[in-house]
Amino acid sequence: MNSNLNLILFLILFVSTSSTLLLVPLIRFIGNKYKLFDYSDNRKINKTTIVRIGGIAIFIGYSLGLTVIPFSGNLSNISFDGRISSFGITLLVTSALIFLLGLIDDLVQLSPFFRLIFQFIVATIAWSQGIAINSIDFSFLADNSFVISLPPLISFLVTVFWITALVNAFNWIDGLDGLASSLVIIASLSFFLIEYSNNITSIACILISLLGSSLSFMFYNYNPAKILMGDGGSYFYGYNLSILSFLSSSESDSNLKIYIPLLLLFVPIADMIYVIIRRCASGKNPFTPDNTHIHHRLLSIGFTEKQTVRLIFSISMILSTIVLSFSCLTEPNPLEE
């Protein structure tokens, strides 16, 4: 089984990486032709006009990577059962809706209220199709099992809040060349290693496709960026990582180990919480853009753009290493049984 699964994973990674790598120049050409730029203003770091619809290449590359699965015939000895497939279809459809929301915002600038309501609706659709946080495992805080099962209403509220929060957190953290892309690479790789070691086949396939598209986009997005992912890309990344951070718990009938997503996604989560608290304390609308994000504050104390990205990347890498080390110590590896 391992060799066939590894072959599928390699093919998915190859297709998503190569297709995104080839698509970005085409999307950039279209963006330049139709002047689909991210114009600079007094709060943006980039002072030049850069094409901001790179999310199109990310979304298409990711989707093409997943086409490897049906074309492979699913390989008879690898399980893609009906429940997993239904979750996968829901994830793809809702991901497309979130991506389209961001893309339209890149083109015509939607109101924050409309974007939030639309995100809420999409998250509700996902929850109604079984993609939900139903129980949370706090056992890492105690010696004995400490699992909280959530009633349907609480499950709905927690799931919808988590999804919409992560969508906006990744959108807000996308403020420097390569910053959001680097965080996606770390998170998707870390989640992939956890799912692969636990033999959660379907989610490992989704994560490796997400990783491939983000690696290729990083090639064009690192400072100095040749293209930006825009809201379409950041919404898409945030939505997928919000879902994938807890979907395996639904698939394997286990409980969500809350420390894993909190640490792997710590930077965008912490940045969002700080910014909202600061804006509310100042009597401002929490969705009004300003210069209080972590990257703005690091720049203000003298870090360069590249140093800021590398510092935040290093923090995420350290947290990822802690999570992976702790997971290896506490979780059995089904692949070795």
Residue 59 has pLDDT above 60, yes or no: yes
- Compute, in degrees rounded to 10, the torsion defined by CA atoms 202, 207, 213, 215: -140
Cα–Cα distance between 201 and 84 in angstroms, integer? 9
- Determine the pLDDT at residue 77: 40
Confidence of residue 81 (pLDDT cuts 50, 70, 90): very low
- Mean pLDDT over 147-154 rounds to 92
Residue 148 banded pLDDT, cuts 50, 70, 90: confident
DSSP assignment string, 40-55: --TT-S--S-EE--TH
Q: Within 13 Å, how many C-alpha atoms sit on residue 46's CB side?
A: 22
How far does the chain reach from its first CA to its final CA, in angstroms?
A: 13
pLDDT (mean) for 205-233: 96
Burial 133-147 (b: 16+ CB within 10 A, else e): bbbbbeeeeeeeeee
Pick the closest to residue 176 from 282, 303, 89, 76 (CA basis).
303
CA distance 92 to 274: 31
Question: What is the mean predicted confidence (pLDDT) over 187-197?
Answer: 93
Pick from 178, 231, 240: nearest CA to 203: 240
How high does pLDDT run on average in the chain? 87
- Asked whether 126 and 167 are in contact (CB, 8 A), the reply is no
For residue 122, what pLDDT is reported?
A: 98
Cα separation, 38 vs 211, in Å, equals 25
What's the mean pLDDT in 294-319?
96
pLDDT computed for residue 335 by the predictor: 41
Of the pLDDT bands very low, low, confident and very high (cuts 50, 70, 90), residue 42 is low
What pLDDT, on the 0 to 100 scale, is given for residue 31? 96
CA distance 21 to 38: 21
Q: How far apart are CA 247 and CA 129, in angstroms?
A: 12
Average pLDDT over residues 174-191: 96
218: its two tokens: 């990083």
DSSP string, 20-37: HHHHHHHHHHHHHHTT-E
pLDDT (average), residues 67-76: 64
CB-count exposure of residue 82 (10 Å: 0-12, 13-18, 19+):
exposed
**198 pLDDT exceeds 90?**
no
From the centroid of its chain, how far is CA 306? 22
3-state secondary structure at position 290: coil
- Is 200 within 8 Å of 192 (Cβ atoms)? no
- Whether 120 shows a pLDDT value over 60: the answer reads yes
* pLDDT attached to residue 242: 95
Q: How confident is the model at residue 83 (pLDDT cuts 50, 70, 90)?
A: very low
